[in-house]
């Protein structure tokens, strides 16, 4: 199966440790830029319906500002209580100064 890639941002739209919420095919997602790379994850915390865009980035983790849970940006794993369910992560590629993601597995 061929993946369907969608352009979601220009590389220079975000500085390191910045994020941007966006919607793609009805899903609320979050584009995150760390010092190493770009990530796309679910925008909403898995513990409570609260936007991770209101949190902060610490290395390869994102923090939910409501209850303080951290999530791994690579795997989506919940690293701290009270969150115990992962968030979804999505593949990302950068080509010609544009950031793309796909919702395909």
pLDDT of residue 1: 61
**Average model confidence (pLDDT) across the chain:** 96
For residue 29, is pLDDT > 90?
yes
**Per-residue tokens: 10:** 């220009």
Angle at 30 between CA 74 and CA 61, to 5 degrees: 35
2 domain-assigned: no
Which pTM was predicted? 0.94
Q: Which domain holds residue 43?
A: 17-94
Domain membership of residue 46 (yes or no) is yes
Q: What is the pLDDT of residue 23?
A: 97
CATH code of 82's domain: 2.102.10.10
Q: Residue 3: what pLDDT?
A: 84
* Contact partners, residue 17, CB within 8 Å, separation at least 6: 33, 34, 35, 56, 57
54-81 confidence digits (pLDDT tens)? 999 999 999 999 999 999 999 999 999 9
Residues 4 and 50: their CA atoms lie apart, in Å, by 28
Q: How many domains does the chain have?
A: 1
pLDDT at 2: 76
The share of the chain scoring above pLDDT 70, in percent, equals: 98
Task: Using the predicted structure, report yes or no on whether residue 20 has a pLDDT greater than 80.
Answer: yes
């Amino acid at each position: 199966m061929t993946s369907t890639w969608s352009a979601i941002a220009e590389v220079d739209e975000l500085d390191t440790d910045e994020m941007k919420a966006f919607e793609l095919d009805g899903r609320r997602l979050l584009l995150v830029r760390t010092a190493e790379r770009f990530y796309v994850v679910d925008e909403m915390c898995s513990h409570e319906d609260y936007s991770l865009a209101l949190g902060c980035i610490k290395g390869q983790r994102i923090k939910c500002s409501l209850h303080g849970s951290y999530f791994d940006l690579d795997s989506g794993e919940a690293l701290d209580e009270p969150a115990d369910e992962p968030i979804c992560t999505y593949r990302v590629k950068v080509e010609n100064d544009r950031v793309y993601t796909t919702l395909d597995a």
